[in-house]
Amino acid sequence: MLRRPAPVVLWLIPVAGGNSPCGLKQFACRARVFAKNNDGSGRSRGKTPLPIAEAWGMKGFFVTGTDTGVGKTLVSAALIHGYAARGERVAGLKPVVSGAVDGVWEDVEILRQASVPPRRREESNLYAFPAAVAPHWAAQQAGLQIDLDAILRFLEEQAAGVERVIVEGAGGFLVPLGNGQSFADLALALRLPVLLVVDLRLGAINHALLSAEAILRRGLPWGGWVGNCVSPQPVAAGTLEGLQEGLPGPCLGVLPHRADPHPRTLSRYLKIPPSP
């Protein structure tokens, strides 16, 4: 049973203007055993983290990326459109966001508008920080502490009344939340399948394999990966082949570059997993 968190500030307004060397496909199987006693950091946990998503009957994905700016929100919204086309009610949730433009957090706006039915801003996001810096640092500068229990309670409440949730992290998988916790801890608590978004630029193979290893070491369910062509430049030769060979799979799709991408249009490039 989660303890009910203390009240938190929801909205902050500024007061002034190749192959993996370790063989990830085999490692994915070994990780399930490793995770029984460890969280991937080498510290003994004693107990496997509570599978909250299963306890709540929550279906969906936890969407992370190899970096910031790789298209997590675009992929998340495209997934929402794909499931909505099947008649499902889907909530797009980004519990922590930083970086506002003219008082607007674009990622939250995209997710809440893509959701079916559309959601209010406060129904898609809990912590919002104006500065475009790492969330833990933004919270520290604001004199706040991001509360993981508060995030979990928020997600539980927002998952009510929908068939599926798409929960998006911020930045990469290990981005800190503060107090020694990171988005990896949120993923561990939820235990939704983790979907990795990969920017198909030079260096993507290394970034993707490192991210996948961090996910699998924690025994988390692997939801697959999506390649995203952020740049209009052609994908470097061998990049897709290296990702397909090194990652456990499946690849849910490769999104082409678009100067003005629209999630509904790009959803047709995704292989939307069937509902269980």
Give the architecture-level CATH label for domain 24-93+149-154+161-269. Answer: 3-Layer(aba) Sandwich (3.40)
Looking at 36, 59, 72, 94, which residue is catalytic? Answer: 94
Mean pLDDT, residues 84-102? 97
**Residue percentage of the chain with pLDDT more than 90:** 76
Nearest-CA neighbor of 79 among 275, 257, 267, 276?
267
Helix (H, G, I), strand (E, B) or coil at 182: strand
The verdict on whether 271 is a catalytic residue reads no
Amino acid letter at 173?
F
The predicted model scores a pTM of: 0.82
**pLDDT by residue (tens digit) across 182-206?**
999 999 999 999 999 999 999 999 9
Looking at residue 51, its pLDDT comes to 62
Q: Read off the pLDDT band of 54 (50, 70, 90).
A: confident
How far is Cα 147 from Cα 1, in angstroms, rounded to an integer? 16
Question: Looking at residue 134, what is its pLDDT?
Answer: 96
Structure tokens at 168: 């998006």
Q: How far is CA 13 from CA 69, 110, 183, in A?
A: 23, 20, 24
Q: How many CB atoms lie within 10 A of CB 102?
A: 4
